[in-house]
């Protein structure tokens, strides 16, 4: 069973969390490269994978395949909304992160699990689908799109509750998913979410009519993640979670 170190870093500035991801990601990639160059001198050991769990202050991020025109706000409006903007190296288009939204960044060496990026994405989606089912919310996949949707079989009602965007190099992953538990959905009005201009965005709070306990939802998602990936979740020591 693979071991995954959980980093529950709470509300963290986007750039700081991104740097933390990059640091872990690069160490895993470098270790793989070194092992393949010098297999005789590399002591075989179990790979330690990572899962960062956090929220961010208001921020918009644009993936490498996205269009900057999908940000519908100028610098002045972003400042008024207390939001920042980053162009980043994940796949996908533009999305929003903010308080009340659970963000998970799995940094896994998929060669220890399976070498199938589509399967990886589907399992991430499934962790959210199973969590929502515990709240009697029927969630699904929308053919042709990533992420998790409600009423996916009705184009007029389909709405996204979880967005996804990942990067994978040498089968090591980074970036991940953003699950709307109870964010301020008005912030999505300043973008064309994920480049899709004819679908709505929703949250657990909107669907349930009340704000669910954030920590409980987070624990459920991580539980389903561990079961789906057949891994053991280990808790990181607080002092090594993130650098100043």
The catalytic residues are 194
Task: State how far the Cα of 108 lies from the Cα of 52, in Å rounded to an integer.
Answer: 11
Q: For the residues of 210-236, what is the DSSP string, one character each?
A: S---HHHHHHHHHHHHHHHTTEEEEEP
Task: State how far the Cα of 144 lies from the Cα of 179, in Å rounded to an integer.
Answer: 19
Sign of the Cα pseudo-torsion (224, 230, 231, 232, in order): positive
Task: State how far the Cα of 163 lies from the Cα of 241, in Å rounded to an integer.
Answer: 25
């Amino acid at each position: 069973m693979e071991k995954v170190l959980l980093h529950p870093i709470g509300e963290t500035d986007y750039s700081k969390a991104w740097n933390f991801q990059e640091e872990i990601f690069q160490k895993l990639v470098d270790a793989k490269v070194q092992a393949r160059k010098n297999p005789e001198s590399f002591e075989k050991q179990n790979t330690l994978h990572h899962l960062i769990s956090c929220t961010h202050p208001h921020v918009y991020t644009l993936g490498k395949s996205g269009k900057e025109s999908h940000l519908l706000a100028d610098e002045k409006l972003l400042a008024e909304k207390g939001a920042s903007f980053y162009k980043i190296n994940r796949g996908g288009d533009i999305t929003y992160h903010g308080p009340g939204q659970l963000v998970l960044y799995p940094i896994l060496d998929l060669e220890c699990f399976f070498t199938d990026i589509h399967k990886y994405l589907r399992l991430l989606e499934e962790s959210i689908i199973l969590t929502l089912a515990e709240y009697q919310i029927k969630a699904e996949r929308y053919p042709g799109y990533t992420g998790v949707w409600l009423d996916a079989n009705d184009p007029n009602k389909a709405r996204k509750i979880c967005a996804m965007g990942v990067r994978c190099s040498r089968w090591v992953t980074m970036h991940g998913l953003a699950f709307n538990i109870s964010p301020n959905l008005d912030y999505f009005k300043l973008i064309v979410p994920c480049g899709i201009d004819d679908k709505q965005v929703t949250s657990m709070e909107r669907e349930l009519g009340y704000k669910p306990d954030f920590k409980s939802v987070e624990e459920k998602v991580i539980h389903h993640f561990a079961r789906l990936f057949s891994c053991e979740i280990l808790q990181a020591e607080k002092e090594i979670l993130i650098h100043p």
